[in-house]
Amino acid sequence: MADERENKATKNDEKKGKNLNKESKENKKKEENRENKENKEIKRENRENKEKMEEEKIKKTERKKGIFSFFHKKDRYNLDIRKEREHDRRLVESFNYAIEGLMSALQNEKHMKFHTLSAILIVILAILTNASKVEILLVSISVAFVIITELINTAVEALVDLISPERHPLAKLAKDVAAGAVLVAAINAVCVGYLLFYDKLLDIFDTQNRLHIIAGRKGNISILILILVSILVIVIKSFYNKGTPLEGGMPSGHSAIAFATFGILIFMISDVRVLILVLFMAGLVAQSRVKAGIHSIKEVVAGGILGFLVAFAIMFIMIKFGILYN
């Protein structure tokens, strides 16, 4: 009996010890939790105090700037200039991306090359046949519609090839529908061209089969030459893969346009002093591109030669054959 009592007593003592250990562990956890909460609260208070201190500093500096605003005008002016330059840079980049998309379509798509060449010839024909403003507008809309649908067709084909590398009926349907849109636009352009130019082309020859003089205004031809020079510059840049369509690369577009203007004005202005001034201004444009580090001297010279030769050759040929007037 005594042994049983001793065993019970030892068991009770063990239970009490276990309970005490549990209580001590729980108390330790509670204390740790309290300490963690206190530490978090202290950190939060410190953070809030730092934020308040920073806000007070900012307010003090703003007050000082308000009192001495005259001395901080330069800082605000420089900040405004930086924002404007960043906005201008993003705008130029968006144009560069758009032109790069056009050039990639021209390089990789045969139909795009054909449509672009046809568009240039039709616009030249509209100007040379002395078409009215409404007729030129209709031709421009039709041509732009064809090019837009061809660009969309190219984008659809690239997207379908990316999503579905293997042949699929739906992929074929998407490509066929996009190609059908291009076909409809091309048929519309052919109909518009036929209705506008059929009679004009018949009137080129009189009853004695003699060629009539195709009239061309100098102003219209000048604009056409500048557009042609711009297109040539962008096309040539695409082969060199240097710079962007609107900045840098071979040749310099600014130099080409400046010297093309000089080549045009040679046939429109008789005053030598004005021509010398125009040549001087074209040289300043070229020099500014080199000084800004955008182009090399070689790129600027190549652009100037290209622009001048294209403009001079077109104006010379048209005056030689008597098809240019004021």
Residues 171 and 229 in one domain: no
pLDDT above 80 for 257: yes
Task: Among 213, 240, 271, identify where a domain stops.
Answer: 213
Total domains present in the chain? 2
Residue 318 lies in a domain: yes
Residue 104 — pLDDT band, cuts 50, 70, 90? confident
pLDDT digit string (tens) for 57-88?
655 655 555 544 444 555 555 556 666 666 66
Query: Among residues 277, 276, 275, 237, which one has the least CA distance to residue 256?
Result: 237
pLDDT given for residue 70 in this prediction: 47
Q: What is d(CA 311, CA 264) in angstroms, rounded to the nearest whole number? A: 6
pLDDT given for residue 259 in this prediction: 92
Helix-helix angle 133-163:169-202, to 10 degrees: 160
Residue 143 — pLDDT band, cuts 50, 70, 90? confident
Residue 168 lies in a domain: yes
pLDDT given for residue 51 in this prediction: 66
pLDDT given for residue 88 in this prediction: 66
Residues 206 and 255 in one domain: no
Determine the average pLDDT of the residues in 184-191.
85
pLDDT given for residue 122 in this prediction: 79
pLDDT above 80 for 313: yes
Whether 150 is catalytic: yes
Which CATH number goes with the domain that contains 167? 1.10.287.3610
Residue 21 lies in a domain: no
Residues 293 and 318 in one domain: yes
Residue 13 lies in a domain: no
pLDDT above 80 for 132: no
Determine the average pLDDT of the residues in 259-288.
88
Residues 164 and 195 in one domain: yes
C-alpha dist (Å) from residue 149 to 111, 152, 162, 207, 213: 11, 5, 20, 42, 36
Task: Tell if the pTM clears 0.95, that is, is over it.
Answer: no
Task: Among 196, 213, 230, identify where a domain stops.
Answer: 213
Higher per-residue pLDDT: 285 or 42: 285
pLDDT given for residue 212 in this prediction: 41
Residue 79 lies in a domain: no
| Structural domain of 228 | 215-326
Residues 224 and 198 in one domain: no
Residue 222 lies in a domain: yes
Residues 235 and 320 in one domain: yes
Residues 175 and 257 in one domain: no
Determine the average pLDDT of the residues in 231-244.
77
93-102, 218-227, 248-257, range with greatest mean pLDDT? 248-257
Higher per-residue pLDDT: 44 or 186: 186
Residues 241 and 159 in one domain: no
Residue 169 lies in a domain: yes
Q: Quote the mean pLDDT of the chain.
A: 75
Task: Among 170, 194, 213, identify where a domain stops.
Answer: 213
Residues 206 and 221 in one domain: no
Q: What is the DSSP string of 176-231?
A: HHHHHHHHHHHHHHHHHHHHHHHHHHHTTB-TT-PBPPPP-BHHHHHHHHHHHHHH
Choice among 56, 150, 166, 247 that is catalytic: 150
pLDDT given for residue 125 in this prediction: 75
Residues 173 and 162 in one domain: yes
Residues 283 and 307 in one domain: yes
Residue 94 lies in a domain: no
Residues 231 and 326 in one domain: yes
Q: What is d(CA 107, CA 150) in angstroms, rounded to the nearest whole number? A: 13
